[in-house]
Amino acid sequence: FPVVPEKEKDMQFAKKYLQNFYDFKEEKDSLFKSKNLNHMADKIREMQSFFGLEVTGELNHKTLDMMKQPRCGIPDIRS
């Protein structure tokens, strides 16, 4: 199979993290990919704010490191 580039792998990991803990719902049938990316950026901001990180909406190293910490399986934010 083609090797998934690191960036893409991190993006997948982050997406799953935000789904699990920040109620991120990806709109599968959305025609506008950018809409999902904006929605995901909002959720990244929410997570950065919860952990007191700089709120950028970007999946930077610090944010990714925080996502990889061992943790409890209960969401931080829930609908």
Task: Tell me if 10 contacts another protein by CB under 8 A.
Answer: no
Task: Tell me if 74 contacts another protein by CB under 8 A.
Answer: yes
Task: Tell me if 42 contacts another protein by CB under 8 A.
Answer: no
Q: Which of 8, 25, 50, 56 binds another protein (CB under 8 A)?
A: 50
**Segment 60-68 long-range contacts (CB within 8 Å, at least 24 positions apart):** 63/14, 64/10, 64/13, 64/14, 67/13, 67/14, 67/17, 68/13
State the Cα–Cα distance between residues 17 and 40, nearest whole angstrom: 11
Q: Which of 21, 22, 40, 63 binds another protein (CB under 8 A)?
A: 21
| Contact footprint for another protein (CB under 8 A) | 20-21, 50-52, 66, 68-76, 78
